[in-house]
Amino acid sequence: MGLTTARYWREVPQRYRMEAGECTACGEIHFPPRRICMKCGKQKFETVVLPDTGKVITWTVIRVAPDEFTDLSPYAVCLVELENGVRLMSQLVDVDLDEIEMGLPVKIEFRRIREDGADGVLFYGYKVVPA
Amino acid sequence: MRDVAVIGVGLSAWGEVWKQSLRDLITEAAVNAVDDAGVEKLDAMFIGCMSGGLFAGQEHIGALAADYLGMGPIPATRTESACASAGTAFRTGLMAVASGYHDVVLAGGVEKMTDVDGGATTRALAAAADQEYEAYHGVTFPGLYAMMAVAHMAKYGTTREQLAMVAVKNHRNGAMNPHGQSPFEVTLEQVLTATRVADPLRILDCSPVTDGAAAAILCPLDMVSRFTKSQAIRVTGSGQATDTIALHQRKDICAIESAALAAKVAYDMAGVGPGDIDFAEVHDCFTIAEIMVTEALGFCEQGQGGKAVEAGETALDGRIPINTSGGLKSKGHPVGATGIAQIHEIVTQLRGNAGGRQVKDAKRGLAQNMGGTGASSTVHILEVI
């Protein structure tokens, strides 16, 4: 996709450090951070670090993958609800694909997302594993 | 605001159309619509196209379409809302006529999808998702809908067989549509054992990759007597709504709220409710999508979409026939053209020209077009004058 280093670098606080934005007015936490609070519309936030545990809300096993992920196929992806209620999308790894279920407790780990390919960047970020 | 009517519709060749380019397709559909309407000139064009850039390396679709239709120098604009691009083209054209800005407007849509390989197609379609927080992690579009399916099955007891019944029904309708890409029937067994794409979805749960274009001609209702070549159909309701781009920020991943909101606006405008609709074309990009949209449009209770298809309520002879054309599933899904192709089917049914798949006494039809996992929806209601 030709992902430039600048585009990658901009997301590093979220992908490497799990930084989210907490609205100082209503306390709603946004991941990724936003300029405007989805709940109350205010525009002032504090940076908070997300908890690293949660549970699977829904999941699938991808068997037809985009070019960059063909080597990993089949692989699981899931929607995770963290302990503070914040949700995020992630790969679910180090798991038997037949044993994934709703509510599975998971933990966030820092992993390589994909090889550099033609883009010249090594892609890192969060994945979840069974807790 | 002025009342508006559709006075002509047209489709291009549809399917894997190796002999025709993007410009060939939109020109063919536009010529057919102009001919159907019997108009000499247009005042403006709005053309839906999701990703001319990624599929064909071609942007600037509005000017391209006007140029090759020989309608330059009229204003021509592309609209983009992922797979709802043509729905928004129709709505934009409708607003242009209703407002009095233009009298005779072409609303069209086009996508040339088979000039790139499968991996590039998957990536182009994934561009409708959140690039940084969904696609980055290797989540595909079938994957997103698969996750909605898993959640819907867990919450409401929707079954794997009920998903398959959507495909069986739509292929049964599509087998009677000579213009479809896959005009053949499939069995429940075939759907349940087809190649796996993203669990629980299999290849026969997914709409295919399609080349195609569609066009409709709009004019003010009080001008239809000038254009008597084909039967005019009135547009009585139009709604559009958005939702969060990413699935993880939805209030409820088991409901498509944008479709419900767009439908409410369209129903209110038309002064009708779900029970007054005779048939509908809905965005069945995946089988689970039809089930969720059936609920969002109010054709059944929330969570009962699977049971509705199982009971035959959405079949051609059911309480509310859905996707009489075969839907995206059987007819095909050129992503930027689909919203107008749905309008084509509604008009065809309301004119009584649908042949073996004709809905009896069809007086009022609804078209719902959707982008992403429901981040965009348009709903239109059309009625016999």
- ipTM greater than 0.90, yes or no? yes
- Mean pLDDT confidence for B24-53: 98
Q: What is the pLDDT of residue A68?
A: 86
Q: How far apart are CA B127 and CA B122, in angstroms?
A: 9
B300 flagged as catalytic: no
Asked if A66 and B126 come within 8 Å (Cβ–Cβ), the reply is: yes
Strand-by-strand arrangement of the A45-49 sheet: A29-30, A19-23, A45-49
pTM over 0.95: yes
A11-35 pLDDT per residue, tens: 999 999 999 999 999 999 999 999 9
Is B124 domain-assigned? no
| CB B93, CB B218: distance < 8 Å | yes
Asked if A66 and B123 come within 8 Å (Cβ–Cβ), the reply is: yes
Tell me the C-alpha to C-alpha distance, in Å, between residue B5 and each of A104, B105, B181, B217, B351.
Answer: 53, 11, 28, 8, 13
Of the listed B102, B179, B283, B333, which one is catalytic? Answer: B333
Together in a domain, A55 and A45:
no
Which CATH number belongs to the domain containing residue A94 in this structure?
A: 2.40.50.840
Q: What is the pLDDT of residue A67?
A: 84
Together in a domain, A128 and A91:
yes
Domain of B103, in residue numbers: 4-117+209-233
A58 pLDDT band, cuts 50/70/90, is very high
**B126 vs A contacts (CB less than 8 Å):** 66
Q: Is B60 on the interface with A (CB under 8 A)?
A: no
Together in a domain, B284 and B358:
yes
Together in a domain, B38 and B178:
no
d(CA B146, nearest CA chain A) in Å:
6
Together in a domain, A70 and A102:
yes
Together in a domain, A38 and A11:
yes
Residues contacting residue B122 through CB under 8 Å, at least 6 positions apart: A64, A65, A66, A67, B140, B141
B190-226 pLDDT per residue, tens: 999 999 999 999 999 999 999 999 999 999 999 999 9
Which CATH number belongs to the domain containing residue B358 in this structure?
A: 3.40.47.10
Domain of A12, in residue numbers: 1-50
Is B159 domain-assigned? yes
Interface of B with A in 201-260 (CB under 8 A): 201, 244, 246-249, 253
Together in a domain, A42 and A71:
no
B275-334 pLDDT per residue, tens: 999 999 999 999 999 999 999 999 999 999 999 999 999 999 999 999 999 999 999 999
